Structure 1
Amino acid sequence: MRTKQRIGLLVLLCVCGGLIRSLPACAQTAPAAQESMSDAWWTGPMLANSAETLPPGHFLFEPYLYDIHSSTSDSFGSRSYILYGLANRLSVGIIPVFGYNRMRSGPSSNGVGVGDITLQAQYRLTEFQPGQWMPTTAILLEETLPTGKYDQLGNRPSDGLGAGAYTTTLALNSQRYFWLPNGRLLRMRFNLSEALSRNANVRGVSVYGTGPAFRGNVKPGNGFFADLAFEYSLTQRWVLALDATYSHNDNTRVVGEDPLDPGNLPYVQNVRINSGSSVAFGLAPAIEYNWSSAIGVLLGTRVTFGGHNAVNTVTPAIAINYVY
């Protein structure tokens, strides 16, 4: 793990550890009438995955609609979690992505396109029990397939919606409940993940900034992500949520050749592009409304800021969570 990753993770662990030590003390002074876990309804926060798995034979469907707004573009998209309880403690699923890029300058996307599709499997290791300190924990394995367009984009680079590379993500997800002095529940999630990408061939104009005649390959940098999330059960139907995130991406390297023709003398130029590593922090406040224990809606906004070599963005989003 890189030094910056260690520092960012240490900060999150210190915050998390302090809260874990203090919140049980609140539980000891809580009134006798406490909200039961079965009476609390949740959709989940905006970003942090659940450490729970679905009972065998049950489905979860959670589509997100969002707009990643930056100073240069609006990236409208949808991301849908379609999960199934395959066996006791084991859930599997697929996450299709669709998108459209509207540019401030230059042409926007030609139309709505397909992004990279992700397959996932999650196995639950432990289960939280009231009165015990052990949280629910799970191992999550994801494989992202390069189904989105990423090169040979011609004069419309905004059509690029994918990375072009197979990416394997391994995550450790955790979840715990606390009873506050007023008897209401606070649910906390703390997730860590590492994404490892393989090489990909690149031809022509691409999402990596290459030219029309470029021929080469790219090695996307590995990515580390940490998410500390809280949900406060305001009432049975209403929940306040907040994610605090840290991400670190390694250097992305593009290597290849690009034939040039200065002075009508064609020759081949070697091209090397390095993005450099990047760091970003984020906050994602949200509000949840639940019609029942099986269906609810989330409305939130993710804000990324204060990073190194990263673009600041604001991403409003809405999602519906349905379990059956």
Structure 2
Amino acid sequence: MVKNLFLVLGLATSCFAATGKHIESSKMEECPGPWFTGPLLAPAGHVVPKGYINIEPYVFYTVTTGNYNSNWKTVNLPNFTSANFQFLLYIGITEWADIQLIPQASWNETKGVSSLELGDFAVEFDVQAMEDTKHNSLPGLKFYVRENFPTGHYQKRDPEKFTTDVGGSGSFETTFGFVITTTHEPWYCHFLNLRLNGFITFPTKVHVKGLNAYGGAPDTDATVKPGLEWGGIFALQYNFTQNWAFAVDIEGIYGNKTTFKGFPGTFLPSTPPNVFLGNPSNVSFGIAPAIEYNFNESVGIIGGVWLTFAGRNTPHFYSGVIAINYYGPIAKGERHKYRTRGGSGGSGGGGGGR
């Protein structure tokens, strides 16, 4: 499956290379630039320039219905419901760099118990390497580094809460990624925006006690080493009118196994039948179709669903997602006219516990 994931990403990259030029129209000067909020998951391929901000609050309402086992089969479990709230804030630093702040919180519920938890806090730094405009044939290219700060509750859980009181991973996670983007006009005033996002995440070791985000039991005392994770997202947006657009993301993620050293814990009646700590290597594939409505070039709203359609040793979930996007003040010149925005980076809501 890892080879297949590489193949998919390679084909998508070839697609970008093959369609790198904007399709010109004699009426191009008469047609305003496209209004897009950005798809649900893939981040924008443009930075927010100095003097501008991009604000995008997200809500992910996720129901995890079970897990994919090692044979890619779904094993049903009691539903675990989570409402995750994220507030994405991009602040322009220079014409070619910005910073993003991502605070979040979640309300979790299962088996009649619930908990409201603060999530991990992320900070991202973006750099524009190439910029696509109306007058060139280059794709937009952005590089970024994101740091996850473990501000959420991750250990010494209450056995009676059934993991609803987990808000974070406990790990400092450093992600390196890139986004390639290009916008075309296959028909007059109908624009097609393509994005390709690749990323790799390096988590630090976590010392855990008691029931924790990685499993365990009330008397667990161990050091967990989360597995390295990498993947990609291919996304497109197409506008039917100036206001209405369709978007879809297709993602694939591979994670190395999570291991531990120390005492995993002992079984108690209130803990799972088998005490476990860590996770084997895993693969997940998901899709997120959505509809956008853009009120103007500054404000838009997007709503859709995000669900897994295949996986191994990962949660099986479906999620309703809605976000409001504001970008402003909007530059009037051609330089910023074709900037696209939005996208949570595939991290939204934790992917049903991923």
What's the TM-score bracket when you normalise by the shorter of the two chains? 0.7 to 0.9
Q: Which residue is equivalent to 2:40?
A: 46
Question: 1:177-227 CA deviation, whole Å, 9 max, x = no partner?
Answer: 112145511000101000100001101011211100111111111111201
Cα drift, residue 230 of structure 1: 0.4
Q: Please state if 1:310 is matched with 2:314.
A: yes
Q: Which residue is equivalent to 2:199?
A: 193
Q: Percent identity?
A: 26
SS at match of 1:172: strand
Equivalent position amino acid for 1:53 in 2: V
Q: Which residue is equivalent to 1:202?
A: 208
Structure 1 contact 23–180 (Cα < 8 Å) conserved: no
Structure 2 contact 151–168 (Cα < 8 Å) conserved: yes
Q: Please state if 1:109 is matched with 2:117.
A: no
What RMSD over aligned residues (CA atoms) do the two structures have, in Å? 2.3
How far, CA to CA, are the matches of 1:177 and 1:7 in structure 2?
27
Structure 2 contact 220–266 (Cα < 8 Å) conserved: no
Of 274, 283, 286, 2:287 maps to 283
Of 6, 10, 13, 1:13 maps to 10
Q: Which residue is equivalent to 2:73?
A: none
- Bigger relative CO (Cα 8 Å, ≥ 6 apart): 2
Q: Which residue is equivalent to 2:339?
A: none
SS at match of 1:273: coil
Question: 1:90-131 CA deviation, whole Å, 9 max, x = no partner?
Answer: 10021011001111x3x5333x21111001110000011336
How far, CA to CA, are the matches of 1:246 and 1:65 in structure 2?
22
SS at match of 1:27: coil
Cα drift, residue 158 of structure 1: 1.4
How far, CA to CA, are the matches of 2:205 and 2:231 in structure 1?
21
Cα drift, residue 261 of structure 1: 9.8
Q: Which residue is equivalent to 1:160?
A: 166
Aligned length: 307
Cα drift, residue 260 of structure 1: 5.3
Q: 1:7 to 1:37 in 2, by over 3 A?
A: farther
Q: Where does the alignment leave 5 or more consecutive residues of structure 2 unmatched? A: 66-78, 269-274, 329-354
SS at match of 2:114: coil
How far, CA to CA, are the matches of 2:16 and 2:35 in structure 1?
23
Q: Where does the alignment leave 5 or more consecutive residues of structure 1 unmatched? A: 263-270
Q: Please state if 1:227 is matched with 2:233.
A: yes
Q: Please state if 1:299 is matched with 2:293.
A: no
How far, CA to CA, are the matches of 2:142 and 2:181 in structure 1?
9
Question: 1:263-311 CA deviation, whole Å, 9 max, x = no partner?
Answer: xxxxxxxx87341111111111111111111111000111112111122
SS at match of 2:157: coil
SS at match of 1:159: coil
Structure 1 contact 151–205 (Cα < 8 Å) conserved: yes
Q: 1:35 to 1:64 in 2, by over 3 A?
A: farther
Equivalent position amino acid for 1:40 in 2: P
SS at match of 1:9: helix
Compare CA radii of gyration and give the structure with the larger one.
1
Cα drift, residue 247 of structure 1: 0.6
How far, CA to CA, are the matches of 2:106 and 2:213 in structure 1?
14
Q: Which residue is equivalent to 2:81?
A: 74
TM-score, scaled to structure 2: 0.81
Question: 1:110-157 CA deviation, whole Å, 9 max, x = no partner?
Answer: 3x2111100111000001133643211011110000000010112222
TM-score, scaled to structure 1: 0.88
